[in-house]
């Protein structure tokens, strides 16, 4: 499905001029209500066309009995009808010349009844010749934030901030989870796409589209089972070095694998084999949902470290030790400073401080001059590839983060700066958020998560340095 027309149509699906909702409803007890509501509340700028033979108007919009009854062009049809009614609607949409569809309806390949799988095959056959991509069935839909397009049953997706991370997921629940986590942590998203049963849009189709998509810089895939693993590996391999692809694969457990089959009709399969192949192809495999969002956020914000050498600058020794432990366990090197870097740090800190790496800047709390100087020193130090900056609020260091923000801003994107700047709610949030928006730092809630993310950035960089097909490390 990677051919040109299909990919062009995918482009139209995500950036449609007009959207029809087939099965739109005025009844809040129906998904057809929520889908229409999402499109309206999401602020989509083109025509929104509710299709329902039974009503004259829904949510203030005139309805049409069918897509073909609508006079203008329709690029995207979102279908929320019972499974048995879908086939003729698909035919109508093809006839109408839609670029793509989102098929929210469940009750296909994922159900126990073999008739579900058979019906899904018939639908796939219907759209094959037309080369029309269909997201779903059995999906919450999809959201393209940059186009204010919320083609899902959850209007709240539109609350996510616009950014460069595209989430593609085999699970609606995971999509919701990641989007809500992103809202809570100020992580900015480009798209959220629920693949569901993957009628003809699978990960292997989404990856090439997103590699080309100007709004997307980081691709996040949540995978349960793969029907065509080879196609995905090829797509990831083709994208190697173009945009980072972060993968979370579940289904390692027997109970999880069992659930996968019933979920989207695919066996999750051998975890290690898939993960190994994905890494070999150039993907970044992560451990869990939290790791996934942390890594995606860092990749969307930070330049990559050029080597494993990190400087740990900490306002308090304890969090620095926790970060050291993780750095060393994960393949980073808490580098000894070269003589000249060490000399300039020594000149800035009182004799009682820990001045070697990790640097305890605690004694410099009151001196924004010293803290700035230390950060500048490691920014310029050749031996330092990445900076982990840890600071817990105490009344005596209230202004420390804002005192630092100029130097962090001025030297942003020189080296990755992963921070853990933590205060009681409401004290440092504003300045930390601004630094994040300026892509000067990525801020994480714990020192361990900051260190883990830096290690992941380095593993990714190391992988990019290797020749494709070469020996693959863990990244």
Interaction residues for a copy of itself, span 188-227 (CB under 8 A): 222, 224
According to DSSP, the residues that pair with 165 across neighbouring strands are 189, 218
Q: How far apart are CA 339 and CA 48, in angstroms?
A: 66
Give 286 or 463: the residue with its C-beta nearer to a copy of itself.
286
Does position 140 bind a copy of itself by CB under 8 A?
A: yes
Residues in contact with 471: Cβ distance below 8 Å, sequence separation at least 6, in sequence order: none
Does position 159 bind a copy of itself by CB under 8 A?
A: yes
Rounded to a whole number of angstroms, the minimum distance from the CB of residue 245 to a copy of itself is 19
Residues in contact with 335: Cβ distance below 8 Å, sequence separation at least 6, in sequence order: 309, 310, 311, 357, 383, 384
Among 34, 191, 198, 461, binds a copy of itself (CB under 8 A): 34
Does position 392 bind a copy of itself by CB under 8 A?
A: yes
Give 1 or 86: the residue with its C-beta nearer to a copy of itself.
86
Of residues 349-368, those binding a copy of itself (CB under 8 A): 351-352, 354, 356-358, 360, 362, 366
Closest by CA position to 70, among listed 90, 88, 54, 93 = 93
Does position 448 bind a copy of itself by CB under 8 A?
A: yes
Rounded to a whole number of angstroms, the minimum distance from the CB of residue 431 to a copy of itself is 16
DSSP H/E element including 13: helix 4-14
Closest by CA position to 279, among listed 316, 232, 323, 325 = 232
Q: Under a CB-based contact definition with an 8 Å cutoff, are residues 370 and 361 in contact? A: yes
Of residues 242-281, those binding a copy of itself (CB under 8 A): 250-256, 258-260, 262-264, 268
Among 31, 119, 278, 378, binds a copy of itself (CB under 8 A): 31
Count of chain residues binding a copy of itself (CB under 8 A): 92
Give 93 or 334: the residue with its C-beta nearer to a copy of itself.
334
Of residues 306-345, those binding a copy of itself (CB under 8 A): 312, 314-322, 324-329, 334
Q: How far apart are CA 13 and CA 107, in angstroms?
A: 23
> What Rg, from alpha-carbon coordinates, does the chain have?
25
Rounded to a whole number of angstroms, the minimum distance from the CB of residue 300 to a copy of itself is 20
Give 54 or 351: the residue with its C-beta nearer to a copy of itself.
351
Does position 25 bind a copy of itself by CB under 8 A?
A: no
Among 92, 423, 462, 464, binds a copy of itself (CB under 8 A): 423
Give 64 or 153: the residue with its C-beta nearer to a copy of itself.
153
Alpha-carbon separation of residue 212 from 137, 161, 215 (angstroms): 25, 21, 9
Residue 355: which region, alpha, beta or left (left: phi > 0; alpha: psi -120 to 50)? alpha
Q: Please count the CA atoms within 13 angstroms of the CA of 309 that sit on its side-chain side.
A: 15
According to DSSP, the residues that pair with 50 across neighbouring strands are 21
**Strand 61-62 relative to strand 57-58, pairing:** antiparallel
Of residues 93-122, those binding a copy of itself (CB under 8 A): 106-107, 110-113
Give 18 or 259: the residue with its C-beta nearer to a copy of itself.
259
């Amino acid at each position: 499905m990677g051919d040109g027309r299909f990919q062009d149509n995918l482009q139209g699906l995500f950036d449609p001029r007009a959207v029809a909702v087939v099965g739109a409803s005025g009844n809040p007890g129906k998904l057809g209500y929520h889908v229409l509501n999402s499109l309206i509340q999401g602020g989509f700028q083109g025509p929104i066309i509710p299709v329902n033979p039974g009503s004259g108007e829904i949510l203030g919009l005139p309805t049409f009995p069918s897509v073909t009854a609508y006079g203008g062009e329709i690029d995207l049809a979102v279908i929320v009808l019972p499974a048995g009614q879908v086939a003729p609607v698909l035919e109508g949409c093809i006839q109408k010349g839609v670029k793509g569809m989102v098929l929210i309806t469940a009750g296909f390949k994922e159900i126990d009844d073999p008739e579900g799988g058979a019906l899904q095959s018939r639908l796939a056959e219907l759209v094959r010749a037309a080369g029309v991509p269909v997201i779903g069935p059995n999906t919450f839909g999809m959201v393209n934030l940059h186009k204010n397009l919320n083609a899902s049953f959850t209007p709240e997706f539109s609350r996510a901030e616009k950014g460069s991370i595209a989430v593609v997921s085999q699970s609606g629940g995971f999509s919701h989870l990641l989007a809500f986590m992103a809202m809570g942590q100020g992580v900015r998203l480009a798209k959220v796409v629920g693949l569901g049963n993957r009628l003809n849009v699978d990960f292997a189709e989404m990856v090439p589209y997103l590699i080309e998509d100007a709004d997307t810089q980081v691709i996040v895939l949540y995978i349960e089972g793969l029907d065509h693993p080879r196609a995905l590996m090829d797509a990831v391999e083709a994208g190697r070095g173009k945009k980072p692809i972060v993968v979370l694969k579940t289904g390692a457990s027997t109970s999880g694998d069992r659930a996968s089959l019933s979920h989207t009709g695919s066996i999750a399969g051998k975890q290690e084999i898939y993960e190994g192949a994905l890494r070999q192809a150039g993907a970044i495999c992560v451990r869990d949902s939290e790791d996934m969002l942390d890594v995606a956020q860092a990749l969307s914000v930070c330049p990559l470290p050029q080597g494993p050498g990190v400087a740990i600058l900490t306002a308090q020794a304890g969090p620095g030790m926790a970060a050291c432990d993780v750095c060393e366990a994960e393949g980073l090197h808490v580098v000894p400073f070269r003589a000249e870097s060490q000399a300039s740090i020594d000149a800035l800190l009182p004799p009682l401080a820990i001045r070697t790496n990790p640097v305890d800047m605690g004694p410099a709390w009151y001196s924004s001059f010293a803290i700035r100087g230390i950060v500048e020193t490691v920014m310029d130090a050749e031996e330092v590839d990445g900076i982990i900056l840890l600071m817990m609020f105490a009344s005596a260091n209230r202004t420390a983060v804002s005192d630092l923000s100029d130097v962090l801003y001025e030297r942003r994107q020189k080296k990755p700066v992963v921070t853990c700047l933590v205060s009681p709610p409401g004290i440092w949030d504003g300045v930390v958020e601004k630094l994040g928006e300026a892509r000067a730092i990525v801020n994480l809630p714990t020192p361990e998560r900051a260190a883990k993310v830096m290690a992941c950035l380095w593993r990714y960089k190391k992988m990019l340095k290797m020749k494709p097909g070469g020996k693959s490390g863990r990244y």
